[in-house]
Amino acid sequence: MINGKTIIKTIGLTKIYGSGETAVKALQNVMLTVCEGEFVAIMGPSGSGKSTLLHLLGCLDQPTSGHYLLDGVVVGELDDDQLAEIRNEKIGFVFQQFNLLLRTSALDNVILPLTYGPRKTRDVRGKALEVLRAVGLEHKVGSMPNELSGGQQQRVAIARALVNNPSIILADEPTGNLDTKSGNEIMTIFKKLNQEGKTVILITHEKHIADYAKRIIHLQDGKVISDEKVVNH
């Protein structure tokens, strides 16, 4: 549910890689506002700046110019420790490649974020089991990633993103390595998380995946060329 409170705001966000004649303008003067509880899909061709924008929103990189306010805080004024704390507590990341530790069980992959940061969870196993149950994988807690299907691995990755109860979920092509059925199951999970109040921002190049969102932003050559509400929501 959207409550009208701005959680993400970018002002003239620009990212340039390299310099001189070989400089690449990955993002150019991006102005973006996302309210708490929104479900936003970012689309665009390869090289349009989608992943660059998501990395900046996730505090994984800094813009060349412009400003990014996360929950009212100017991200560019934070030091490395403060950025790490924000990434651990406010943002959950889900990637196309799953990024699971291959020799570690599903349960221990989910527990991992609970071992970082100043906020300690007393019952880490119980918390990890809770989120695995929420994504329908309570019966696979002891399985290694190579014993799981692609869809199940992505569910583990989502559980890991959720374990610190972040307010924002950032997903980079989360269905890119999945078949259609598994992809739709993963998107159903994102939709449910959004209905429960999470702000969800995902990158996709697939229109039927973007249609799960309530708003679709199109990027081209590092610029926002359209920003539209999705009908049927």
Examine residue 10 and state whether it is found in any structural domain, yes or no. Answer: no
> Which pLDDT value is given to residue 177?
87
pLDDT digit of tens for each residue in the chain (233 aa)? 566 799 999 999 999 999 888 889 999 999 999 999 999 999 999 889 999 999 999 999 999 999 999 999 999 999 998 998 888 889 999 988 888 999 999 999 999 888 775 555 668 888 899 999 999 999 999 999 999 999 999 999 999 999 989 999 999 999 988 999 999 999 999 999 999 999 999 999 899 999 999 999 999 999 999 999 987 65
Examine residue 171 and state whether it is found in any structural domain, yes or no. Answer: yes
**Alpha-carbon dihedral angle through residues 2, 134, 57, 87, given to the nearest 10 degrees:** 120
> Which pLDDT value is given to residue 117?
56
Examine residue 30 and state whether it is found in any structural domain, yes or no. Answer: no
Examine residue 48 and state whether it is found in any structural domain, yes or no. Answer: yes
Structural domain count of the chain? 1
Residue-wise pLDDT for 155-198, tens only, equals 999 999 999 899 999 999 999 889 999 999 999 999 999 999 99
Tell me which residue of 212, 223, 203, 227 sits closest to 42, measured CA to CA. 203
> Which pLDDT value is given to residue 232?
65
Tell me which residue of 173, 154, 198 sits closest to 44, measured CA to CA. 173
Angstrom distance (rounded) from CA 134 to CA 125: 14
Examine residue 20 and state whether it is found in any structural domain, yes or no. Answer: no
> 171-200 burial by CB neighbour count: b if 16+ within 10 A, else e?
bbbbbbbbeeebbebbbebbeebbeeebbb
Residue-wise pLDDT for 130-148, tens only, equals 999 999 999 999 999 999 9
Angstrom distance (rounded) from CA 26 to CA 67: 16
> Which pLDDT value is given to residue 68?
96
Examine residue 23 and state whether it is found in any structural domain, yes or no. Answer: no
What domain range is 154 assigned to?
38-60+79-229
> Which pLDDT value is given to residue 233?
56
> Which pLDDT value is given to residue 98?
84
CATH number at residue 114: 3.40.50.300
Examine residue 157 and state whether it is found in any structural domain, yes or no. Answer: yes
Tell me which residue of 140, 139, 160, 9 sits closest to 95, measured CA to CA. 160
Examine residue 45 and state whether it is found in any structural domain, yes or no. Answer: yes
Tell me which residue of 204, 232, 210 sits closest to 51, measured CA to CA. 204
Q: Where do we find the tokens 């959680």?
A: 7
